[in-house]
Amino acid sequence: MPGSDGILAIGIVGCAGRMGRMLTKIVTESKDVTLVGGTERPGAEPVSNDLGTLAGLSPLGVACTDDPDALFAKADAVLDFTAPVASLAHARLAAKHRKIHVIGTTGMNADDVAALQRSASEAVIVMAPNMSLGVNLLLALVERAARALGEGWDIEIVEMHHRMKVDAPSGTALGLGRAAARGRGVELDEVAVKTRDGVTGARPDGRIGFATLRGGDVVGEHRVIIAAAGERIELGHIATDRAIFARGAVRAALWARGRSPGLYSMKDVLGL
Ligand code: NAD
């Protein structure tokens, strides 16, 4: 019986994706968890392939299916780095089976988060646009810096990711923007500037600006620049290996064991 020996039974939805394959690797390397299955979209090529083979490892005897309902039934926790629509459907399954759901998917809007909140009344959901310890510490530092420095300082957030990324600015960049806005006691939506083009005029006070770079195979880089007349502070994070996100997701699943239903973040998991 998966999970009965204290080992957490893990399922991976989107197991053939960049993060899905990394999750397979990290889950099989971790002693406190065991891999019980994975899914891909119905009709997708990886379906019925071995998860180990998909991840470039030796076969694990665990096949990729297109049946997330069965996966949520047999896993204790499901790790999900897919797409917003898919993650919302998975969260409903987590609620149905009362399981742990760790969501790394980015690009969710406010309605999506409200739908997740509803599922979280019956499932333990941990969601974070960035599962790394370093970025979650950076979020705390940025909030503190923004609070200390006030509106006379201009905040700009620069991020770069690989050319296949589909959402912009990155979920992490937006999270950093929200942290800065919280520090200032404002709503990010009211002060964010996500694009600039042409004759923009001078920079208004109090705005939080974003610049998005895409190219190559960059795993993820974020820099928060806080600039005033005559001086500038830069706080940043560079991810060089997707393993940090996968390790964070496994840590979140282990942390979630035995918790009451609810929507949690990596801040909760890491106790920051
Ligand atoms: P990817 O496109 O390589 O992988 C996504 C996978 O999900 C694909 O294989 C796709 O077929 C699969 N998928 C989509 N819908 C599905 C469904 N309904 N059922 C099963 N599988 C489905 O993308 P990626 O680079 O692995 O990133 C995935 C997501 O994770 C993105 O939103 C990305 O921004 C996010 N991400 C988050 C973190 C974090 O720390 N939170 C880190 C890296 C990436």
Q: Kindly report the protein residue whose alpha carbon is nearest to atom 8 of ligand 1.
A: 17
Between CA 83 and CA 103 the distance in angstroms is: 10
Q: Where are the alpha helices (DSSP H) in the chain?
A: 18-29, 51-54, 68-74, 84-97, 110-119, 133-149, 171-184, 188-191, 243-256, 266-270
CA of 104 to the centre of ligand 1 (A): 8
List the structure tokens of 113.
């988060």
Pocket of ligand 1 (CB under 6 A): 13-14, 16-20, 39-41, 44, 81-83, 86, 104-107, 128-131, 171, 245
Q: Express each pLDDT in 113-124 by its tens digit.
A: 999 999 999 999
74 CB-contact burial (10 Å; exposed 0-12 / middle 13-18 / buried 19+): middle
How far is residue 49's CA from residue 179's CA, in Å, rounded to a whole number? 41
Q: What CATH number labels 133-239?
A: 3.30.360.10
- pLDDT tier at 150 (50, 70, 90 boundaries)? confident
Q: Which of 3-7, 34-38, 189-193 has the lowest mean pLDDT?
A: 3-7
Q: Looking at ligand 1, which atom is closest to the CA of residue 89?
A: 18
pLDDT digits (tens, 9 = 90+) for 226-242: 999 999 999 999 999 99
The reply to whether omega before 169 is within 30° of 0 (cis) is yes
Query: Measured between alpha carbons, how far apart are the two ends of the chain, in Å?
Result: 34
Residue 15 alpha carbon, nearest atom of ligand 1: 9
How remote is the CA of residue 11 from the centroid of ligand 1, in Å?
A: 14
Sign, CA dihedral 96-94-164-107, equals positive
Q: What is the pLDDT of residue 1?
A: 44
| Residue spans per domain, the chain | 8-127+242-270, 133-239
8-127+242-270 folds as Rossmann fold (3.40.50)
- Name the CA dihedral angle for 208, 209, 215, 219, rounded to a multiple of 10 degrees: -10
Quick: pLDDT tens for 14-35: 999 999 999 999 999 999 999 9
